[in-house]
Amino acid sequence: EILMTQSPATLSVSPGERATLSCRASQSISSNLAWYQQKPGQAPRLLIYGASTRAIGIPARFSGSGSETEFILTISSLQSEDFATYYCQQYNNWPQTFGRGTKVEIE
């Protein structure tokens, strides 16, 4: 099973600032990585797939990069609605696995 490690666990950021979230895979997953945003009481929302492709309707301030084992989600200028928990997921191998999440909170 591929272990997905996200860091940091919590990120305190001021509105308008940039947020950089990291996700590391325990073995190569090529670019088969997705990022999700989840707010309390809601289902997750797909942000990025293929490591860097924005899903339909996702604002351009969200961008993904990386390949193999190291991946980054960047939120260029945090808006109030972006404060949430973010998860990465690998879909290169079965079983698919999620990271434990990074909570982005208001500083």
Partner 1 sequence: QVQLVESGGDLVKPGGSLRLSCATSGFPFIDYHMTWIRQAPGKGLEWISYISSRGDTIYYADSVKGRFTISRDNVKNSLFLQMNTLRAEDTAVYYCAIRVAATGGLDYWGQGTQVTVSS
What does the binding site for partner 1 look like in residue numbers (CB under 8 A)? 1, 32-34, 36, 38, 43-46, 48-50, 53, 55-56, 87, 89, 91, 94-101
| Residue given tokens 């308008």 in the structure block | 16
Using CA atoms, how far apart are residues 76 and 82, in angstroms rounded to an integer?
11
Q: Which is nearer to partner 1, 50 or 83 (CB)?
A: 50
State the minimum distance, in angstroms, from the CB of residue 85 to partner 1.
8
Residue from 99, 64, 105 nearest 82 by CA: 105
State the minimum distance, in angstroms, from the CB of residue 57 to partner 1.
10
